[in-house]
């Protein structure tokens, strides 16, 4: 029995009438678990029209009432936490622990959206000129859209719609077609939280649906998370159609290991951050640069990574699951083969790996290369698989040069016992999120997710105060009120241009 995935359009859950069918598969065995009737152009346009209509009333709902929807929503998400994580694990192949983390990181953003009244406050200055005050309001934009990737089907949609909607916008979500059932559950719970009809719309599909969102005049802002090529396309097409766009794209995250670091901490952290979640995290550490004598730890790191065992989502001993699709597996295996051909030393090769009873799954075992150079394909391309590339440098300065030469800038970490080295690294590194003895420095929602360079196109980032700026427009008012007995002379406004 396969499930039929539902769109949520104009307050109704519907299978849709699209003729193009998309199969959703279990990555552990590639059996079809659900099907989608991809949204037609008409269905996407209807969703946008319904969201536009809902905006006229939702933007007038008092901010504390909008916050109350978020309070109910975060409560419902918590109450259904394990149920959502189970759906998520089944369609992504993630281990249950990992799936729970995906849901929890999303819930934290919904919690943050409960603070909307404080977040959305404007600014005031009294007496900018004699008896004249200036103050600003932040007002919603209208209909916003979100296009999300497969790798965090709970967290990333939740980066977007709770804050956009709390700001007074309405929202059309187009999640990844590879794991659509988690977002569907998120939307069902949003309805249960009391969001009025039309405020949130859910459409499933691929490029056809996305292209309607990118070009439709009633979409005011687009939030995207996904791969580099698609991110560039979304940013260029969205801005070309005069929309506000934030596009979070691919990554290649480096860590720098100093010889004074705590060896065991480095090894423990690197194992999880490199091959954990099958390397399918945009903040995964996929390159480790060992400075000086730290390179002596590479054999021990190899032994630790060799012990990692992938498995199915409900296997409590499994460290990570399969990659998302046969195409993803093929891409990872091709890059591993290229790494060997191009002269990197393969210390661990997970190309020929399977899990008993799940031989048809998209398995890739833990893989590790040393002597990687910046010209190699395994260095230049985002592998998005459980593969760690190791490099060496003589000095911290040389390591910083390597990291800064990368076109990406999502996340990075330094492992060291030296405050001076850490300070130099945090100050000079051209990467938007820096960990100091912290392997995956994803900021909590009161900060923002601040990727740089080729990992992000736009200016205002996801969640935190920046998301509120992204989803609102500022209106600045300059006001003067005359008292009835004001003298003739005081009627002349000062020159304020």
Name the minimum Å distance from CB 324 to ligand NAD. Answer: 7
Name the minimum Å distance from CB 151 to ligand NAD. Answer: 5
What is the token pair recorded at 408?
């990406």
Tokens 């791969």 belong to residue: 227
> 183: closest CA among 191, 195, 18, 461?
191
Angle at 281 between CA 243 and CA 151, to 5 degrees: 65
What's the chain's Rg over C-alpha atoms? 25
282 is catalytic: yes
Any contact of residue 470 with ligand NAD (CB under 6 A)? no
Indicate the residue among 249 and 346 with the shorter CB distance to ligand NAD: 249
- Of residues 245 through 264, those in contact with ligand NAD by CB under 6 A are 248-251
DSSP 453: E
| Site residue total, ligand NAD (CB under 6 A) | 27
Strand order in the sheet with 170-174: 12-14, 7-9, 200-202, 170-174, 143-147, 219-225, 244-248, 456-457
Residue of the chain from 455, 460, 466, 472 that contacts ligand NAD (CB under 6 A): 455
325 φ, ψ to 5°? -150, 165
Any contact of residue 349 with ligand NAD (CB under 6 A)? no
CA–CA gap between residue 296 and residue 293 (Å, rounded):
6
Tell me how long the chain is: 497
Determine the residue with CB nearest ligand NAD: 226
Residue of the chain from 163, 202, 213, 225 that contacts ligand NAD (CB under 6 A): 225
Any contact of residue 226 with ligand NAD (CB under 6 A)? yes
Structural contact between residues 25 and 33, judged by C-beta atoms closer than 8 angstroms: yes
Indicate the residue among 143 and 396 with the shorter CB distance to ligand NAD: 143
Any contact of residue 463 with ligand NAD (CB under 6 A)? no
Instruction: Pick the stretch among 13-21, 57-65, 100-108, 169-177 that binds ligand NAD (CB under 6 A).
Output: 169-177
Q: H helices of 193-314, where? A: 207-215, 228-240, 263-275, 298-306
> 443: closest CA among 428, 432, 457?
432
Indicate the residue among 249 and 368 with the shorter CB distance to ligand NAD: 249
Name the minimum Å distance from CB 26 to ligand NAD. Answer: 17
Instruction: Pick the stretch among 63-71, 243-251, 390-398, 463-471 that binds ligand NAD (CB under 6 A).
Output: 243-251
Q: Which helix H or strand E contains 9, and what residues bound it? A: strand 7-9
Instruction: Pick the stretch among 12-20, 67-75, 76-84, 142-150 that binds ligand NAD (CB under 6 A).
Output: 142-150
Instruction: Pick the stretch among 26-34, 98-106, 173-181, 348-356 that binds ligand NAD (CB under 6 A).
Output: 173-181
Structural contact between residues 45 and 143, judged by C-beta atoms closer than 8 angstroms: no
CA distances from 485 to 436, 489, 490 (A): 64, 12, 10
Structural contact between residues 361 and 27, judged by C-beta atoms closer than 8 angstroms: yes
Residue 72: burial class (beta carbons within 10 Å; 0-12, 13-18, 19+): middle
Residue of the chain from 227, 351, 418, 437 that contacts ligand NAD (CB under 6 A): 227
Instruction: Pick the stretch among 220-228, 253-261, 268-276, 367-375 that binds ligand NAD (CB under 6 A).
Output: 220-228
Any contact of residue 358 with ligand NAD (CB under 6 A)? no
Q: H helices of 368-450, where? A: 377-380, 396-405, 419-428
Instruction: Pick the stretch among 63-71, 74-82, 203-211, 386-394 that binds ligand NAD (CB under 6 A).
Output: 203-211
Indicate the residue among 196 and 326 with the shorter CB distance to ligand NAD: 326
Strand order in the sheet with 253-257: 345-348, 367-370, 387-393, 285-291, 253-257, 412-415, 434-436
Any contact of residue 210 with ligand NAD (CB under 6 A)? yes
Name the minimum Å distance from CB 342 to ligand NAD. Answer: 22
Indicate the residue among 213 and 421 with the shorter CB distance to ligand NAD: 213
Residue 128: burial class (beta carbons within 10 Å; 0-12, 13-18, 19+): middle
Residue of the chain from 103, 230, 347, 399 that contacts ligand NAD (CB under 6 A): 230
Name the minimum Å distance from CB 453 to ligand NAD. Answer: 11
- Of residues 273 through 332, those in contact with ligand NAD by CB under 6 A are 282
Count CA atoms within 13 Å of residue 365 on its CB side: 17
Any contact of residue 149 with ligand NAD (CB under 6 A)? yes
Residue of the chain from 26, 90, 95, 176 that contacts ligand NAD (CB under 6 A): 176
Nearby residues of 297 by Cβ (< 8 Å), 6 or more positions away: 257, 263, 266, 267, 290
Residue of the chain from 73, 96, 150, 425 that contacts ligand NAD (CB under 6 A): 150
Any contact of residue 451 with ligand NAD (CB under 6 A)? yes
Indicate the residue among 358 and 384 with the shorter CB distance to ligand NAD: 384
Any contact of residue 384 with ligand NAD (CB under 6 A)? yes
Structural contact between residues 34 and 22, judged by C-beta atoms closer than 8 angstroms: no
Indicate the residue among 89 and 230 with the shorter CB distance to ligand NAD: 230
Residue of the chain from 37, 151, 416, 460 that contacts ligand NAD (CB under 6 A): 151
Choosing from 114, 167, 255, 282, the catalytic residue is 282
Interface ranges with ligand NAD (CB under 6 A): 147-152, 174, 176-177, 206-207, 210, 225-227, 230, 233, 248-251, 282, 382, 384, 410, 451, 455
Residues tagged active-site: 282
């Amino acid at each position: 029995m396969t499930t039929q995935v539902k769109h949520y359009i104009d307050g109704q859950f519907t299978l849709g009438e699209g003729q193009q069918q998309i199969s959703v598969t279990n990555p552990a065995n590639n059996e079809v678990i659900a099907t989608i009737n991809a949204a037609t152009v008409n269905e996407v346009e209807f969703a946008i029209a319904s969201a536009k209509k809902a905006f006229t009333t939702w933007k007038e709902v008092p901010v504390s009432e909008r916050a109350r929807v978020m309070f109910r929503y975060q409560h419902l998400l918590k109450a259904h936490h394990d149920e959502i994580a189970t759906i998520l694990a089944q369609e992504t192949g993630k281990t249950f622990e990992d799936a729970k983390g995906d849901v929890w990181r999303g819930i934290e953003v919904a919690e943050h959206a409960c603070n909307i009244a404080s977040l959305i406050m404007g600014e005031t200055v009294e007496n900018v000129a004699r008896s004249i005050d200036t103050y600003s309001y932040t007002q919603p934009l209208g209909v916003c859209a979100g296009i999300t990737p497969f790798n965090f089907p709970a967290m990333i949609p939740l980066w977007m719609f709770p804050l956009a909607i709390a700001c007074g916008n309405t929202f059309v979500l187009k999640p990844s077609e590879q794991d659509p059932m988690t977002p569907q559950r998120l939307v069902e719970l949003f309805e249960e939280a009391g969001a009025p009809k039309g405020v949130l719309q859910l459409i499933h599909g691929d490029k056809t649906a996305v292209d309607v969102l990118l070009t439709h005049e009633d979409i005011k802002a687009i939030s995207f998370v996904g791969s580099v090529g698609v991110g560039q396309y979304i940013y260029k097409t969205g801005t070309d159609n005069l929309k506000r766009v934030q596009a979070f794209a691919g990554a290649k995250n480096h860590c720098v290991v100093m010889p004074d670091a705590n060896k065991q901490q480095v090894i423990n952290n690197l194992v999880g951050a490199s091959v954990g979640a099958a390397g399918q995290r945009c903040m995964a550490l996929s390159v480790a640069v060992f400075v000086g004598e730290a390179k002596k730890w590479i054999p021990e790191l190899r032994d630790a990574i060799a012990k990692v065992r992938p498995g199915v989502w409900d296997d409590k001993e499994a460290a990570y699951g399969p990659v998302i699709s046969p195409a993803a597996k093929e891409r990872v295996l091709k890059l591993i083969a290229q790494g060997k051909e191009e002269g990197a030393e393969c210390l661990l090769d997970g190309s020929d790996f399977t899990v008993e009873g799940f031989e048809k799954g998209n398995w890739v075992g833990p893989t590790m290369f040393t002597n990687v150079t910046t010209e190699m394909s395994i260095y230049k391309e985002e592998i998005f698989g459980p593969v760690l590339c190791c490099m060496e440098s003589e000095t911290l300065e040389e390591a910083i040069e390597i990291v800064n030469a990368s076109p990406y800038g999502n996340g990075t970490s330094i492992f060291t016992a030296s405050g001076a080295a850490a300070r130099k690294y945090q100050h000079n590194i051209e990467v938007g999120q820096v960990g100091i003895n912290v392997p995956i420095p994803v900021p909590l929602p009161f900060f923002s997710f601040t990727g740089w360079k080729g990992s992000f196109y736009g200016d205002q980032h996801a969640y935190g105060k920046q998301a509120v700026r992204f989803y609102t427009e500022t209106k600045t008012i300059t006001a003067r009120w005359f008292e009835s007995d004001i003298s003739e002379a005081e009627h002349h406004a000062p020159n304020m241009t």
